Structure 1
Amino acid sequence: MWEKQLSGTQTYDYHYLLKRWSMDRLNVVDTENHSMKLPVVLPDGSRHIAQLQFSGPITSPAVTVASADSSKQEEILKWIENWLQWDVDLAGVAAHFIGSDLEKLFYAHAGTPIVKDIDLYYCLMKTIIHQQLNLKFAYTLTNRFVEAFGTKQDDVWFYPSPDRVASLSYEDLRQMQFSQRKAEYVIDTSRLIMEGKLDFEQLANHPDQEIATALTKIRGLGSWSAQNWMLFGLGRADLLPAADIGVQNALKYYDNLDKKPKPAAIYERGERWSPYRSYATVTLWRSIET
Structure 2
Amino acid sequence: METIQIKGPYNFDLVLDRLSLDPLNSIDLKNRTVKVPLIVEQEPIVAEVKAIGTTEEPEFVINGIEGKEKAEKRIFELFQWHLPLEEIHNHFKSTDLKDIFTFHYGTPLVLDFDPYSCIIKCIIHQQLNLAFAHTLTERFVKTYGFEKDGVWFYPQPERVAKLTVEELRELQFSGRKAEYVIGIATAAVQGELYFEELMRMSDEAIYDKLIKLRGVGPWTVQNFLMFGLGRPNLFPLADIGIQNALKKLYQLEAKPTHADMENYAKSWHPYLSYASLYLWRSIE
Q: Structure 1: which amino acid aligns with 2:31?
A: N
Corresponding residue number in structure 2 for 1:267:
262
Deviation for aligned residue 1:104: 2.0
RMSD across aligned positions (CA) = 1.2
Q: Which amino acid aligns with 2:47?
A: A
- Out of 218, 222, 234, the residue aligned to residue 227 of structure 1 is 222
Cα distance in structure 1, aligned partners of 2:188 and 2:71: 25
Partner of 2:175: 180
> Is it true that 1:199 corresponds to 2:194 in the alignment?
yes
The worse-fitting range, judged by mean Cα deviation, of 194-203 and 121-130 is 194-203
Q: Aligned pair 1:46/2:43, yes or no? A: yes
The equivalent of 2:90 in structure 1 is 95
User: 1:254-286 CA distances to partner (integer Å, 9 max, x unpaired)?
Assistant: 122222211221123213211100000000110
Whole-angstrom CA distance in 1 between matches of 2:184 and 2:33: 34
Whether the 8 Å CA contact 2:161–2:183 is kept in 1: the answer is yes
Select the residue among 61, 67, 71 that pairs with 2:67: 71
Matching residue of 2:23: 25
What number of residue pairs does the alignment pair up?
284
Q: What is the alpha-carbon distance in structure 2 between the residues aligned to residue 79 and residue 29 of structure 1?
A: 19
SS at match of 1:58: coil
Task: Write the distance in 2 (CA, Å) between the matches of 1:70 and 1:232.
Answer: 26
- Between the aligned partners of 1:71 and 1:89, the Cα distance in structure 2 is 26
Compare 266-275 and 148-157 and name the one that shifted more: 266-275
Maintained 8 Å contact 1:34/1:54: yes
Equivalent of residue 256 in structure 1, options 243, 251, 257: 251
Q: Distance in 2 between matches of 1:251 and 1:275?
A: 19
Contact 2:180/2:214 (8 A) holds in 1: yes
- Local SS of the residue matching 2:67: helix
> 2:66 & 2:239 partners in 1: Cα distance?
43
Structure 1 residues 149-160: aligned runs within 5 Å: 149-160=144-155
- SS of equivalent residue, structure 1 residue 99: coil
Paired position in structure 2 for 1:143: 138
Contact 2:32 2:50 in 1 (8 A): yes
Using the size of structure 1 for normalisation, the TM-score is: 0.95
Partners of 2:112 and 2:238 in 1: how far apart?
A: 21
Return the offset for 1:123: 0.5
Read off the aligned partner of 1:125 and give its amino acid letter: I
Alpha-carbon distance between aligned partners in 2 of 1:28 and 1:99, rounded to the nearest angstrom:
37
**SS at the partner of 1:71?**
coil
Shift of 1:98: 2.1
Secondary structure, aligned partner of 1:266:
helix
Given that 1:20 and 1:115 are in contact with CA atoms closer than 8 Å, whether structure 2 keeps it comes out as: no
C-alpha contact 1:242 1:264 (8 A) present in aligned 2: no
Once structures 1 and 2 are overlaid, which stretch shifts more, 197-206 or 78-87?
197-206
Look up the SS of the partner of 1:70 in the other structure.
Answer: coil
The amino acid that maps onto 1:45 is: Q
How far apart are 1:166 and its partner, in Å?
Answer: 0.3
- The answer on whether the counterparts of 2:2 and 2:66 sit within 8 Å (CA) in structure 1 is no
